[in-house]
Structure 1
Amino acid sequence: MSFEDSHGVPIPFLAFPQLTLIFSLIGVALAAVLARKARRPRSTFVRTTVALTALSVVPDFTFGFDTATAFSLATLHVVAASIVIPTVARRLAATR
């Protein structure tokens, strides 16, 4: 597991926490919009963010990483999502 792409370019270590923070903030913004617009904010948020998490692992397997790196990156996506999604969802109303 090298965290390098097929060209040998490594992923910077600080990219992990920075991107996790950025996309968590995007998730909070999405939750705020859904709290105002959706009929069922909590379930809409959970369904949307689970689908986006599934889409977020696609580049891990298509950008030329070795298998171990791709699975490690995908696991990091799922771990971050499993922390952020329930935490934000708990703060949303079930119905509006």
Structure 2
Amino acid sequence: MSTLILIPARMASTRLPGKPLADIAGAPMIVHVARRAAEAGLGRVVVATDTQSVAQAVRAHGFEAVMTRTDHESGSDRIHEALIALDPGRKVETIVNVQG
């Protein structure tokens, strides 16, 4: 079974602006989330973000990132855009939406 773990991340959070890059014990929060998702061993882990600095931080720590539009109303909308970009042949059977 093909599983894709997608983590939506945006810097414009209203409750905690800049949350994805908030430093926690020497690493950005989003990197901690990606690490935990990878440790689950379910499949490919990708961060879906609309911010280049988030994508760069994720990639600098060895994880994959995909850029998405800035106008999504929800994380699920961002996940949908990322899925279309990452799996145009529709081979993925299971999508796991991990919220950080």
Check whether TM > 0.5. Answer: no
- TM-score using structure 2 length: 0.32
Compare the two structures and name the one with the higher strand fraction: 2
- TM-score using structure 1 length: 0.33
Larger Rg: 1
